[in-house]
Structure 1
Amino acid sequence: MGFTKAEAKILLCVCLAQFAVSADNITTALLIKDIMMSFQVSIAQGQIVTSSYSVISAPLMIVTGLLGYFFCWKKIFQFGLFLCTAGEFSALFIHDFYPFIGISRLAFGIGAALTLASSVALLTTRIQVKNRMIAFSIWGASVAIISMISPMLLALITSTDWRRSFLFLGFISLTALILSRNLKNITPDRTEKKIDLVAVSLIVSIVGLFLVSVSLAPSLGFLSTAENHSVLDNLTIPTMMLITAIILSFVFFAHDRMKSKLNRNDLYITIIPKSFVNKEMIAGLYILLFLYLIYGGVLFSIVSYISLGTYDIFDSSIAITVFALPMFFVSVLIASKGKDLTISSLNTIGLLILTVSLAMLAWSITRTESIMPIYLGMTSIGIGCGFIASKSNIAVNNSVDASLSEQSSGLQVSARNIGYVIGIALFTSGLTLMTKGQLLDSAFIGSGLSDVAANVKSEFYLALSFMSNNSLHQMMTDFNIPVPTNIDTLNNNARSMALQNALYISSIMCLLSIKAGRMVENKPK
């Protein structure tokens, strides 16, 4: 590969930072039940923890690229790691839920935004062009490896207390922070322009409100739960947030036009320069977003399907492993040996592999109870993601002028986070809605309980979701609904049908995304 000693240090630091951030995201999802029990909160409150990282960090990531005009990227990277470390360690001492969100999760979310954006900027500016592709590939595909080893580490670390995981991740962030002291300081080219704080506030608010509205929507995202609220109440809050985000979007464009009329554009740094608004840049960001939409949504769905079904507890870990290893090694191999392959051709190959793999897995999921088709499907899905991940960041850098590549770093990591949030939201929504319909038809009407189906309580309908057989038994008992003798078979079939439909839809989405994958910029401008 030919990395210099300085480049190797940078790659080590950014990969450690990636581990700390991504593993935290996985940790909060896997330990959500323990966290809820510790704080004695409801499902809705507890699952705020799982969405807090993305909701906080994604909006900030868009504008963090501006900081490089005023501060050294090393300092931004270190400050981000400091906040991540503080957020993880503070979880050890906070025993009330809302201070946990307002201090620990907030500090970590801001730190993650600074850390990931500066990681992209460091790889862009400190790694030689000949090594940059392989560096981005290792850094980007390392997310898959983190997904693989995190559950295993958690099983060893959190045997008695979930807070130990945050202690461990705090030490990872601290280690990266200490090692980053050896990185060279490079003073940025100073600019006389200022940051438009009004525009920054509007952008952060728009994206933040959009992500929160997705997370709060009933059965759409992280907060799909049956609280004691009416459907109207559940719809009102996310709808109002979405409407507010749309209104703020018009305010942002009006503010931007006003600056142009007053000839004040030269006084401020443009948050999204006009040169960013080109088909190659949009296509590159879309592919990044779509990669993490598939990565988050499909991986979440399949692991949930295994965990809720009749499979062994180790099957989830094996499924993640056979996905992660091919994605990492294919990505690194292509970046190192396939330098002559164009980015558009890699995207096309990767998306075609995903299209076929997802369709074949969907076809097989209802035809056998064996875990082997899932293993094979996850392996081929990992290979497809590896093709796309190998040069996805480079495609975005190629689509802008070299002088703006650092500023694009925030958009790149924000696209990843937004894709992950939307992926989880879409797949959770789809699985929940399709399972509800299937169960309502088969468990009630199909079992001769049409009188029950006609009078199913709205709370019960809201509570129905992609769930285990035991959970469904308990819920029907709680609502005084007769439990059919074949309910386990009906629920297993409903889960399989829901996952099959979700995989078919994702396969079609991959096929339709091939055109965007071909539009990316293959060479630097």
Structure 2
Amino acid sequence: MASTAAAAKEGGKEKFLVLPILVLILAQMGTSGDNGALSLAATALTTDLGATVADIQLANMVYSLMAGAFMIAGGMMGTIIGWKKNFRMGALMCAAGEVVLAMAPNMAVFIWGGRTLVGFGASFMIPSVLGLVPKIYHGKNRVLAFGCIGAASGLSALLPLLLSIVLMSFGMRVTFFVLAAYFAIVFLLSFKLPEIEQNDGKLKFDGIGVALAALGLFLFLVGVSRISAWGLIEPFAACPFTIFGISPCLPMAVLGLVILAVMVKVEKGVEEKNGFALLPQSFLKTPQVLAGLAASAITFFFMGVQSILMAPYLQLVAGWSPAIVGVLSIVVGIPTFAFSIGIPKWMPNANPRRVIEVGYIVLAAALATMAFSVTLDSASLPGIVVGCILAGSGAGIVSAQANNVVALAVNERDAAQSGGIQTTMRNVGQAIGIALLGAVLLFGITNNVIDGAKNDDRISEATVEAISERNIDLTSDDAFRASIEDIEMSDSERDALVEVNAEARFNSTRFAYGVGAVIILLGLLTTPAIKIFKKEEA
């Protein structure tokens, strides 16, 4: 029986179905809005649940950990049980997770209960978004549909603005209840999606592959993400355990990579035997697919930069309100939306490689602009606004072609299943952005404070020794002063340490932005692999 999508063709030309793409955009917006709400709630989490910067970093990371670990499995499940069922399962789990966040009595429940459940739900729902697009849309409509999905990142900026109003008016808990209602509405709207072609019912679930992928990704991401809290080699005081006397971060990350290498080998045999695997060989052997996955990772690497550098600095150091930060999300979102939809709509024959290259350069320029906009205890509003406009433009330009580049290079079934690996790479990119730049920032602040104190004649050796035993958070001058109240020193020493911390905080933040810009520019090395610009359809 012909699908509803196929029935939309009239006179040989396929109509663009508006309602399905709206439902898929709302789903994509929901997960982006959830992460945005967490960034806005940084101050509320600190006051209501006693969260530290490390706790907020972990709360950001756990979503990416769960989504990243199970997203490939979510893509496979959609192929087996059907994309619409998979979508609905994910939406319901996201709604349940938001309820747990709203009712969490402490950060442990907030992180390991609510954020874990939302991340697990996203691992089913978001691959289904990308899996449904190739099933519903074809030809130039598919390019436009993928652009609309990319534009959802821009539209999602509306949610933080609205949620910031809810947050300031009714508090953090009501805000997460509102998000729970949002995902419930997405679930109900999914019943309006058109009928699509289903699989032949003979595909087998690859349990071994799922277990290896989930374990490997989880160990790798946990290892990388906790470096700033547990230490790279020498364990910090907060480190829960050690491995042969060193921090567990590097051993966990390395073990995760080894397990993933084993998984790749196992999946090759599974695909040869069954003709279907969790990780099709076409994803690994096609350079263009790898370049497209890198584009997805780099775009969301930038999202991680925003959540660990921009939002905390503006709220915790500059003292900007969540509402102002929410408005900045709109400033990022408008150009993201405009370029994600505008390029495929008005430039349907644009060279995907050149589009992505331009996007990388604009994203790097955005980070450089933001770096020069921060000051010792605040930030330049005009500079931050310009940086946000550039950031949204770069993200939108890359998003306009990143998903399509992958779909162009593989067959239809793999194109649909690729949603899992693409969204995995998004979450891996975001997780690495948060972990790497969070580590650069926090290690930088601590080391710069210690070095600055040693070189300051106003600070005694005893005070230097006391401060050397601590890890310094990203905080305001007043919060830092309060954190060193227990160290016996003179008032002049305390004033000097506050000055040293402000300088260390300033330099470390700028350096972290610079590291992020360099990593984004390294993406240019992958773009020569993009050589297929158009797929001829039967």
Instruction: Please indicate, yes or no, whether the TM-score normalized by the shorter chain is above 0.5.
Output: yes
Alignment partner, residue 17 of structure 1: 27
Q: In the TM superposition, what is the alpha-carbon distance from 1:355 to its structure 2 partner?
A: 3.5
1:234-245 residue pairs with structure 2 within 5 A? Answer: 236-245=247-256
1:113-152 residue pairs with structure 2 within 5 A? Answer: 113-152=123-162
Counterpart AA for 1:60: F
Segment of structure 1 superposing worse, 315-324 or 57-66? 315-324
Give the gaps of 5 or more residues in structure 2.
Answer: 1-8
Among residues 474, 484, 497, which one is paired with 1:466 in the alignment? 474
1:516 aligns with 2:526: yes
Aligned counterparts of 2:104 and 2:501: Cα–Cα separation in 1 = 40
1:166 aligns with 2:176: yes
Q: Secondary structure of the residue that 1:195 maps to in structure 2?
A: coil
Q: In the TM superposition, what is the alpha-carbon distance from 1:33 to its structure 2 partner?
A: 5.4
Segment of structure 1 superposing worse, 277-286 or 304-313? 304-313
The answer as to whether partners of 2:59 and 2:111 remain within 8 angstroms in 1 is yes
The one-character-per-residue Cα deviations of 1:272-317 (angstroms, maximum 9, x if unpaired) are 2222222111111011101111232145412322223346435534
Aligned counterparts of 1:413 and 1:69: Cα–Cα separation in 2 = 15
Counterpart AA for 2:418: S
Aligned counterparts of 2:192 and 2:27: Cα–Cα separation in 1 = 15
Segment of structure 1 superposing worse, 366-375 or 289-298? 366-375
Segment of structure 1 superposing worse, 195-204 or 323-332? 323-332
Aligned counterparts of 1:319 and 1:291: Cα–Cα separation in 2 = 18
1:386-425 residue pairs with structure 2 within 5 A? Answer: 386-425=396-435
Segment of structure 1 superposing worse, 121-130 or 403-412? 121-130
CA separation of 1:229 and 1:388: change in aligned 2, threshold 3 A: closer
Aligned counterparts of 2:498 and 2:154: Cα–Cα separation in 1 = 33
Among residues 287, 296, 313, which one is paired with 1:305 in the alignment? 313
1:178 aligns with 2:188: yes
Q: Secondary structure of the residue that 2:184 maps to in structure 1?
A: helix
Segment of structure 1 superposing worse, 226-235 or 209-218? 226-235
1:298-447 residue pairs with structure 2 within 5 A? Answer: 298=306, 300-310=308-318, 312-313=320-321, 315-363=324-372, 365=374, 370-447=380-457
Segment of structure 1 superposing worse, 337-346 or 309-318? 309-318
The answer as to whether partners of 1:305 and 1:495 remain within 8 angstroms in 2 is no
1:270 aligns with 2:280: no
1:87 aligns with 2:97: yes
CA separation of 1:304 and 1:226: change in aligned 2, threshold 3 A: farther
Q: In the TM superposition, what is the alpha-carbon distance from 1:42 to its structure 2 partner?
A: 7.2
Counterpart AA for 2:427: N
Instruction: Provide the TM-score with structure 1 as the length reference.
Output: 0.87
The one-character-per-residue Cα deviations of 1:53-100 (angstroms, maximum 9, x if unpaired) are 211111111122222332221111112112222222355556576666
Alignment partner, residue 201 of structure 1: 211
The one-character-per-residue Cα deviations of 1:326-361 (angstroms, maximum 9, x if unpaired) are 222122221211112111111122222233443354
Alignment partner, residue 512 of structure 2: 502
CA separation of 1:41 and 1:315: change in aligned 2, threshold 3 A: closer
Segment of structure 1 superposing worse, 58-67 or 296-305? 296-305
Aligned counterparts of 1:43 and 1:370: Cα–Cα separation in 2 = 23
User: What is the root-mean-square deviation in Å for CA atoms of aligned residues?
Assistant: 3.3
Aligned counterparts of 2:230 and 2:526: Cα–Cα separation in 1 = 26
Percent of paired sites with the same residue: 23
Aligned counterparts of 2:121 and 2:379: Cα–Cα separation in 1 = 43
Aligned counterparts of 1:249 and 1:28: Cα–Cα separation in 2 = 30
Aligned counterparts of 1:83 and 1:230: Cα–Cα separation in 2 = 30
The answer as to whether partners of 1:158 and 1:165 remain within 8 angstroms in 2 is no
The answer as to whether partners of 2:466 and 2:487 remain within 8 angstroms in 1 is no
Give the gaps of 5 or more residues in structure 1.
Answer: none
Counterpart AA for 1:429: A
The answer as to whether partners of 2:356 and 2:397 remain within 8 angstroms in 1 is yes
The answer as to whether partners of 2:336 and 2:392 remain within 8 angstroms in 1 is yes
Q: In the TM superposition, what is the alpha-carbon distance from 1:397 to its structure 2 partner?
A: 1.0
Aligned length, in residue pairs: 515
The answer as to whether partners of 1:151 and 1:317 remain within 8 angstroms in 2 is yes
The answer as to whether partners of 2:43 and 2:315 remain within 8 angstroms in 1 is no
Instruction: Provide the TM-score with structure 2 as the length reference.
Output: 0.85
Segment of structure 1 superposing worse, 366-375 or 102-111? 366-375
Counterpart AA for 1:388: V
Q: Secondary structure of the residue that 1:59 maps to in structure 2?
A: helix
Aligned counterparts of 1:465 and 1:101: Cα–Cα separation in 2 = 19
CA separation of 1:43 and 1:469: change in aligned 2, threshold 3 A: closer
Counterpart AA for 1:238: C
The one-character-per-residue Cα deviations of 1:362-395 (angstroms, maximum 9, x if unpaired) are 4565699632222222222322222111111111
Among residues 480, 493, 516, which one is paired with 2:488 in the alignment? 480
